[in-house]
Structure 1
Amino acid sequence: MRHRLKDVAERAGVSVKTVSNVVNGYAHVSPDTRARVEEAVAALGYRPNLTARNLRRGRTGVIALAVPELDQPYFAELAGHVVAAAATRDWTVLIDQTNGDPERERLVAEGIRDHLVDGVIFSPLALTGADLAGDAAGGDGRPPLVLLGERVEGAAADHVAIDNVAAARDMTVHLAAAARRRVAAIGAQESAEGATARLRLAGYRAGLRDAGLPFDPALVAPARAWRRTDGAAAMRALLAVTPPPDAVFCGNDTLALGALRALHEAGLRVPDDVAVAGFDDIEDGRFATPSLTTVAPDKARLAGVAVELLAARLSGVGSGPPRAETVPYELRLRESTGG
């Protein structure tokens, strides 16, 4: 049997309005009254009807998270963190996969369907600032947006990311500090969707400069997608370069896992012959043989800040122009670079 506010009020000896005030966290309730209501709530196992509460507030209690690929471990792990952060606000998360398709991404930016979600946390690949123009607070009828990943210039949306250039630079310097002199990179992309790849490659080049190493275009291997098969193919191509690399920085961990496999098949030892580093700190990398050195973004913080920004927009506190937040990262040094 599902108990109602009226049942709690009768047990606590207070009005239904008082129970509602306690359940909704209003401050102007005496400590004694609050204690009685909370005891009654616990005794009856009362749970608020969130659907009714949200409808009274003009909200659904549902937000959307849209990412390019759910079978990529980084996005799957990030989704888990978003769900956990949203749960602290009693929000349900609708998760959508766009595959970087422009039409699918436009549908997400418009709120999936009218009145279905209150706001959207979104990692777009194909959309431009013109596609995401409007009112950051959702005053133009579109739900508030928070973008993850690279900033889309001109977008009317809050934005959360890490400093990809600095992170890639730091990892490249780490590889060079281990007396590696032929440091390669895997994951270059020239497509419109390759903003992250371009930033990480810029960081790689900055790291080479900081370490006093020359940039050699022959040591940069493209990858159309950032999957294990692409990493393996790119690593095989790099091994055909004369002289071959003695270290490789990969644009993400799945590329690095593919590179590890190609090196194993070639009979080379990691890190003795070639050191390997990735980016994203996915769980698979911790259990690889050897374990994978990587850039570890604070994924829990990334998700938490995104939810906080969305909550601010929905509450009306977060008015004004779009905000940009940068979350920290660290290098996790493991066996693949001798760490």
Structure 2
Amino acid sequence: MPDKQKRNVTVRELAKAARVSIGTVSRALRGQPGLSEQTRADVLRIAQELGYDIEKLHTGKPRRILFLYNRAIGALTTNQFYSIVLHGAESACREAGILLSLMSVAPGDDVAAKVRRFESDALLAAGYFESETLVSFQQCELPLVLVDHFHAGIHCVNGDNLNGAWMATRHLLDSGAKTLAAIYGPLSHHSVSLRAKGFRRALFEAQRLLDPDYEVTLDPAIDYDEAGRDAMRRLLKLNPRPDAVFAYNDATALHAIEVCQEAGLEVPKDVRVIGYDDIVAASHSKPALSTVRLDKELMGAVAVEALVRGDVGPADTLLPVELVIRDSSHQSATPRRTTSRRTTAPATTASSSRRSR
């Protein structure tokens, strides 16, 4: 068909005309495997009949990526973790000439119908999603990458949570802490479970016994901020009282410091505290919060790069993390950083939480 007769036919229209899924149309047009030759021929024939411009797919990269997040986290723009992941994804898409759209989802949503309205070529899902929601993503038959989450059979991009927690705990031990405690979010969350494992591994290697009373989790029945304070209050009632606390994220660590100060305790003189993620508030708190830094923008960018390359096979890409020592964990703190290395590992089975970061 002459170019002048080509019009802006969408993949959705092709899928409807060919009576196949959007994912099937995408694979047929891109020459990707997984289709019968008859199905591929039918899609290409209908594309030609409708005047679809196949030339625009010759780059092989997606033209539109849909950024998915769980509505349970609230407004994405105010989330100090995933809003930065989104910014990294936006920057990578802009450099690649890709349109990035945003959509929230929740259990019970007709995900396939919502995705079709965006006419996207690929999906980037950030954070925790219920198993049934992940299945609905896969049923869209579009390239998919998960960020800060894990699911077997999908390319996932995560920080090196186990090593980051190990470095944080090792720092507390090296600083002279005698009685260590930890505060976790839901241990069913992939990143939280690995941070707990890193904390325990550091104690085991140091030949320190760990009383289970000194590991507490946030109470899901109460407000998130108050749950962090409640967890620290529980730890302060223990005998002996912990003199060092590893918190699974910075928000919880900051609430722990508040509780210590309300109880008349000095941080770090009486209780050392270290968090995780290095949110903006960490460096501005008093005392400034020691933490484990993860390049959240890089997470979003790496996910986009994987989609552009078509690298969506099962894998767990681990991004490096950096230990940042500030005043909350060391009385004579001087800027000191230790960094892990980035790796990509085959995907393995893991479970996830129902609660946001």
Q: TM-score scaled by structure 1?
A: 0.71
Residue 7 of structure 1 corresponds to which residue in structure 2?
A: none
Give 1:273 shift.
0.6
Gaps of 5+ in 1: 1-51
TM-aligned CA distance change 1:130 to 1:302, over 3 Å: closer
Give 1:310 shift.
0.9
TM-aligned CA distance change 1:125 to 1:273, over 3 Å: same
Task: Choose which of 73, 77, 84 in structure 1 pairs with 2:84.
Answer: 77
Give 1:254 shift.
0.8
Gaps of 5+ in 2: 1-51, 334-357
Whether contact under 8 Å (1:111, 1:143) holds in the other structure is no
Whether contact under 8 Å (1:228, 1:256) holds in the other structure is no
One-letter amino acid matched to 1:290: P
Task: Choose which of 102, 106, 114 in structure 1 pairs with 2:107.
Answer: 102
Residue 333 of structure 1 corresponds to which residue in structure 2?
A: 325
TM-aligned CA distance change 1:287 to 1:111, over 3 Å: farther
Q: Which deviates the most, 69-78 or 241-250? A: 69-78
Does residue 113 of structure 1 match 2:115?
Answer: yes
* Structure 1 counterpart SS, 2:68: strand
CA RMSD for the aligned pairs? 2.9
Task: Choose which of 291, 296, 300 in structure 2 pairs with 1:299.
Answer: 296
The structure showing larger relative contact order (alpha-carbon pairs under 8 Å, at least 6 residues apart) is: 2
Residue 6 of structure 1 corresponds to which residue in structure 2?
A: none
Deviations 1:5-46 (A, max 9, x none): xxxxxxxxxxxxxxxxxxxxxxxxxxxxxxxxxxxxxxxxxx
Deviations 1:48-77 (A, max 9, x none): xxxx99994499843222233223311122
Residue 172 of structure 1 corresponds to which residue in structure 2?
A: 169
Does residue 210 of structure 1 match 2:213?
Answer: no
One-letter amino acid matched to 1:304: A
TM-aligned CA distance change 1:53 to 1:227, over 3 Å: farther
Residue 128 of structure 2 corresponds to which residue in structure 1?
A: 125
Distance (Å, rounded) in 2 between the aligned partners of 1:121 and 1:258:
31
Distance (Å, rounded) in 2 between the aligned partners of 1:252 and 1:67:
19
Whether contact under 8 Å (1:208, 1:215) holds in the other structure is yes
Give 1:145 shift.
0.7
One-letter amino acid matched to 1:332: V
One-letter amino acid matched to 2:263: A
Give 1:103 shift.
3.1
Number of residue pairs matched by the alignment: 270
Whether contact under 8 Å (2:86, 2:297) holds in the other structure is no
Does residue 230 of structure 1 match 2:230?
Answer: no
Residue 141 of structure 2 corresponds to which residue in structure 1?
A: 142
Distance (Å, rounded) in 1 between the aligned partners of 2:62 and 2:177:
55
Distance (Å, rounded) in 2 between the aligned partners of 1:251 and 1:227:
13
Residue 347 of structure 2 corresponds to which residue in structure 1?
A: none
Residue 268 of structure 2 corresponds to which residue in structure 1?
A: 271
Give 1:181 shift.
1.1
One-letter amino acid matched to 2:130: L
Distance (Å, rounded) in 2 between the aligned partners of 1:168 and 1:298:
15
Distance (Å, rounded) in 2 between the aligned partners of 1:212 and 1:151:
31
Give 1:187 shift.
1.3
One-letter amino acid matched to 1:255: T
* Structure 1 counterpart SS, 2:255: helix
Distance (Å, rounded) in 1 between the aligned partners of 2:131 and 2:230:
31
Residue 152 of structure 1 corresponds to which residue in structure 2?
A: 151
Q: Which has the larger radius of gyration?
A: 1
Matches within 5 A, 1:253-272: 253-272=250-269
Residue 65 of structure 1 corresponds to which residue in structure 2?
A: 67
One-letter amino acid matched to 1:63: I
Does residue 324 of structure 1 match 2:312?
Answer: no
Give 1:84 shift.
1.5
Whether contact under 8 Å (2:84, 2:297) holds in the other structure is no
Distance (Å, rounded) in 1 between the aligned partners of 2:226 and 2:66:
30
Deviations 1:292-313 (A, max 9, x none): 1111112232222111001112
Q: Aligned residues: percent identity?
A: 27
- The runs of at least 4 consecutive aligned structure 1 residues that moved more than 6 Å come to 52-55
Distance (Å, rounded) in 1 between the aligned partners of 2:113 and 2:316:
21
Deviations 1:83-136 (A, max 9, x none): 1222111223223344xx4334x72xx48421512211113524339954997x
Distance (Å, rounded) in 2 between the aligned partners of 1:92 and 1:60:
9
Distance (Å, rounded) in 2 between the aligned partners of 1:217 and 1:232:
19
Give 1:174 shift.
0.7
TM-aligned CA distance change 1:243 to 1:96, over 3 Å: farther
Whether contact under 8 Å (2:121, 2:143) holds in the other structure is yes
Residue 163 of structure 1 corresponds to which residue in structure 2?
A: 160
